[in-house]
Structure 1
Amino acid sequence: MPSRSDDPVAAALERAATLIEHDVRALAAANPVVLIDGRSGAGKSSLAARLAARWPVEGRVQLIALDSIYPGWDGLDAGVDRALDGILRPHGRGYLGTWQRWDWAEQTEAENHAVDPSLGVIVEGSGLLTPATARLGDVRVWVESAEPGRKARALARDGETYRPHWDRWAEQEQRHVERDDPQALATRVVEVP
């Protein structure tokens, strides 16, 4: 097994986390909002976890994955709308936000979670960078990665539960890319092999 220094994906994510950490520091804000978008398997969750572990602002950061919010396999747009209405708009106005977890096993809504407007927040997920969300993100990241690597990582992560849904999810991502041009909305684009 290669060491982390020999792993090009891990090295790319470390470089990206360092750059984004500098972006957050440069804001000089007490409660910055970082949005991380990219197609499935690109490395969004791993990048968000690395950034959260080295969060450069006093106090904890709230890390929210849209995978916990999407209402099922056809819910990419609905999940982004839920994040916009429940997390980003309230946070931007200084109000307590809430989001409801989607229980994938039961295919139903689950418990609610609060979002403290006084703390920074990292939201990551496919479909996240839209014209509406971009207005509310201080640092907006697009993670670019070619399909073969993304698909291999996503299926290794989620196994056979994801395989039958890959194409239908990829179609939703493609519609998002064509409609919203998330790379153009990003303040930072990172490449992951």
Structure 2
Amino acid sequence: MPLSADDPVATALRDAATAALAQASAALSSPAAPVVLLDGRSGAGKTTLAALIAADWPGPVRVVALDDIYPGWDGLAQGAETAREEILAPHRAGRTARWRRWDWSAQRHGESDAVGPGTGLIVEGSGVLTPASAALADVRIWLESPAGSRRERALRRDGDTYRPHWERWAAQEDTHLALDHPRHWATLVAEVP
């Protein structure tokens, strides 16, 4: 999403990035590289915020998008669990995290990916912030945004590819909110218009 100086969404995301970097700076002196989790409903601005944080990160950092891990349109919970088991837990333990990306065209697992323990980690995606994953992250962000704004941004971004799946995905987000209470686990809540 292009960010202009007079755009209230851009301002909210820039402010959230500044606050997230301030929180992450406290963890930069620890032996393990800091981990940031970014959660919010579809279209809230997670991908843009992750890019803003990564752009000013003081050292090596990797952004992992759950969009590359979810196993299809019904895979929100499984994608979040895969991120916890295969990325967050090994990274926190000081090991290289290894996982397989999801090939959306072939509807199956595709190429392998990895990130080393000395690299800062930003994991963004709906469902990523759970009670179990919260313990594995230094900064935990929940993005709050009105449904109409989110839908407009998401469909402008993904268009007809996403349109038939919007309600199906939103139902999985509803389940995540009811079961995991991600806002409760956040160290930072950002309101995005």
TM-score range, shorter chain: over 0.9
Q: Matches of 2:112 and 2:3 in 1, distance apart?
A: 39
- Greater mean alpha carbon deviation, residues 25-34 or residues 128-137: 25-34
Percent identical among aligned pairs is 56
1:50 aligned partner: 52
Residue pairs, 1:64-83, within 5 angstroms: 64-83=64-83
User: How far, CA to CA, are the matches of 2:68 and 2:8 in structure 1?
Assistant: 28
Question: For the residues of structure 1 that align with 2:110 and 2:3, how far apart are their CA atoms?
Answer: 39
Question: In the aligned structure 2, how far is the partner of 1:106 from the partner of 1:156?
Answer: 24
Picking from 37, 40, 48, the partner of 2:39 is 37
1:17 partnered with 2:17: yes
Equivalence map 1:120-159=2 (5 Å)? 120-159=120-159
Moved more, 70-79 or 98-107: 98-107
The residue aligned with 1:4 is: 4
How far has the Cα of 1:3 moved from its partner? 7.5
Gaps of 5+ in 2: none
1:99 positional shift: 1.6
Regions of 4+ moved over 6 Å: none
SS in 2 for 1:81: helix
If the length of structure 2 is used for normalisation, what is the TM-score?
Answer: 0.96
Alpha-carbon distance, 1:172 to partner: 0.2
In structure 2, the CA distance between the partners of 1:36 and 1:94, relative to structure 1 (3 Å rule), is: same
Output the CA distance in 2 between the equivalents of 1:173 and 1:3.
Answer: 26
Task: State the secondary structure of the residue aligned to 2:5.
Answer: helix
Which one-letter code corresponds to 1:4 in the other structure?
Answer: S
Amino acid of the residue matched to residue 63 of structure 2?
L
In structure 2, distance between residues paired with 1:76 and 1:135? 20
RMSD: 1.2
Cα drift, residue 9 of structure 1: 0.7
What is the total number of aligned residue pairs between the two structures?
190
Summarize deviations over 1:28-50 as a string: whole Å, max 9, x none: 33500000000000000000000
Deviation at 1:26, TM superposition (A): 2.2
Where 2:105 maps in the other structure, the secondary structure is coil
* Aligned amino acid, residue 18 of structure 2: T
Q: Is the 8 A contact 2:80 2:127 kept in 1?
A: yes
For structure 1, the 5+ residue unaligned runs are none
Inter-partner Cα distance in structure 2 for 1:40 and 1:63: 17
Q: SS in structure 1 opposite 2:57?
A: coil
